[in-house]
Amino acid sequence: MSILRQVVVYSRKGCHLCEIVKETLTKLHRYGGFTWQEVDVDSDENLRRQFTDEVPVVFIDGHKAFKYRMDERDFLRKLVS
C-alpha cells in the first residue's frame, strides 16, 4: 500500500509564478502519489507576515521543498525520496 504525500502550495492571487507552480502540480497529479492543496497567504495575517513576497512556496509532507520556482523532475524526485 502506497502512502500519498501531502503537498501544500502557499500562494497569492495575481502571482504569475504561483500560477505556473499550480499548473505544474495539476499536470503532475496524473502520475499519482500525492494530493495537493493551495493556501492563500493573504487569507491570514500570520501567513502574510511569514511569507511576505516569498511565494510560491511548496511544502511536501510539511517540509519546505521549493520557493519561487519548481522543476518537474526535481519535484518527482523529492516526491519519492
CATH code of the domain in which 63 resides: 3.40.30.10
Range of the domain at 10: 5-80
Q: Per the structure, how many domains does the chain have?
A: 1
CA atoms within 13 A on the CB side of 47: 14
Q: Which residue has the higher pLDDT, 29 or 81?
A: 29
Q: How confident is the model over 34-78, as pLDDT tens digits?
A: 999 999 999 999 999 999 989 999 999 999 999 999 999 999 999
pTM: 0.93
